[in-house]
Amino acid sequence: MPEAPLDELAAGLTSGEITTDASVLEKWRTDEARLTSDGRPLCAVHAESTADVVATMRWATRHCVPVVPRGAGTGLAGGALASRGSVVLALERMAAIRELSFDDQLAVVEPGVVTADLARAADERGLNYPVDPGSAARSTLGGNIATNAGGFRCFHYGVTRDQVLGLEVVLPDGRLVRTGHRTAKGVTGYDLTGLFVGSEGTLGVVTGAVLRLRHKERWPRATVAARFPTAVAAARVPLELARDGVRPSLLELVDEVTVRALRTWEQSSEPLVSEGALLLGQSEGEDAGRTADGMRRACERVGAEAVVVTQDPVETDHLLDIRRRALGAVEHEGRTMVEDFVVPRSRLGEMLLEIRRIADEHGILIATVAHAGDANLHPTLVFDPAEPEIPDRVWAAADDMFRTALRLGGTLTGEHGVGVLKKRWLGDELGESGMQVHHAVKKALDPLGIMNPGKIL
């Protein structure tokens, strides 16, 4: 690439800057999925305003240069890997909370705002932003929107899409569009907001978002922790709760393989992580205690070996921290590939049995945690770090898992996105006509194919 176009790009930026340093560019080739792209990007643009993004996209369209939007790089599907000759559009510096309204219960934010920072800012105003992915302390809202991130409390509050009222998006040719609304209701035109949420930067660049907030609960939360002999036994609890009409705000499952890793790594004397599997539930609101009691009864009815119920904030944080530490414990067992798929709630136990079968057949350690309330499973495949990037047997096990999940009526991803990791299975779920529609949408908005190429499709 001649030097002139980069000079032209730099001249068009309002406040951002360009990086061409090889050591800096190298880090953009990977993310938390631990996949690596096929080559080094051309440069990185550190955007500081929407105007910088507009200028970058206009330049990229003129010169037909691929652009990869990038946040904190916490993705788990390779959705933000910068390929050879691309421009990384780094959005971390666009980190302003433009507005936070108590009366309208909304926030207007830029894409580089860290998820936990918005949650804290909302909390200080007596409000609540409920999306809390495991990476909330590092991930940015732009990345959450790109992948439609979920988290512990998505069973009750929904995923990112359920919080997004409107978006500010720069299209591949540099046009700026605003979608959605900032009112409690609004159905004008097509749901373009929903289209961009979860599109993983393949249709445009999100530079602003209007997010729904909620009033903070004034009642203490009640937390339930139950130990079961197996994860399959614990998987009966969500069905029991649904039949009883009990709806917790959080319901997390940690299988026996993960519990064993926690015990080994931490040398823990915690009785709940001594053996078996762990189920963690939480309720909030005026009826928190009654809901927790319903969870306790359901756990005991299906064979829990021990149940703890607490409304003490310190004890609650301690219990939930067990779930938060799960992946770190498993990573001490070797190199990992974290997966993400959803099955119907009625098939959760069956899918857990299938994961054990797949682990045995392929000779791979698989540790699973799940958002049990909506049957969103996260099996982590563990292999020797000395092996190739992802060994064939790991791919074979992943293939078996995804096809099994689809056979049980499930979906390939609940919150991590497709990226490059799962696109090989996309046609199996969408079908030929569905794939054609996806390609048509992509071509309509990105006719040059410069937006995050190679992801999803």
pLDDT digits (tens, 9 = 90+) for 154-201: 888 999 999 999 999 999 999 999 999 999 899 999 999 999 999 999
Residue corresponding to tokens 């809202």: 141
The β-bridge relationship of strands 214-215 and 127-128 is: antiparallel
- Nearest partner of 18 among 36, 38, 50, 41, judged by Cα: 41
pTM greater than the 0.85 cutoff: yes
What separation in angstroms does the CA of 193 have from each of 157, 188, 376? 18, 11, 24
Identify the CATH number of the domain defined by range 334-424: 3.30.70.2740
Torsion sign, CA atoms 33, 36, 38, 43: positive
User: Which parts of the chain sit beneath pLDDT 70?
Assistant: 1-4, 267-269
User: Does domain 222-327 correspond to CATH entry 1.20.120.1760?
Assistant: no
User: Does domain 97-215 correspond to CATH entry 3.90.110.10?
Assistant: no
Contact 443/56 with Cβ under 8 angstroms? no
Rounded to an integer, what distance in angstroms lies between the CA atom of residue 150 and that of residue 162?
10
Per-domain residue ranges of the chain:
3-90, 97-215, 222-327, 334-424
What separation in angstroms does the CA of 72 have from each of 27, 193, 292, 315, 369? 11, 22, 36, 31, 23
Q: What pLDDT is recorded for position 2?
A: 45
The pLDDT tens digits of the residues spanning 17-55 come to 999 999 889 999 998 888 889 889 999 999 999 999 999
Domains 97-215 and 334-424 equal at CATH topology level: no
Tokens in use for 114?
A: 């860290």
Rounded to an integer, what distance in angstroms lies between the CA atom of residue 203 and that of residue 200?
8
Q: What pLDDT is recorded for position 258?
A: 96
Q: What pLDDT is recorded for position 388?
A: 72
Q: What pLDDT is recorded for position 1?
A: 44
User: Does domain 3-90 correspond to CATH entry 3.30.300.30?
Assistant: no
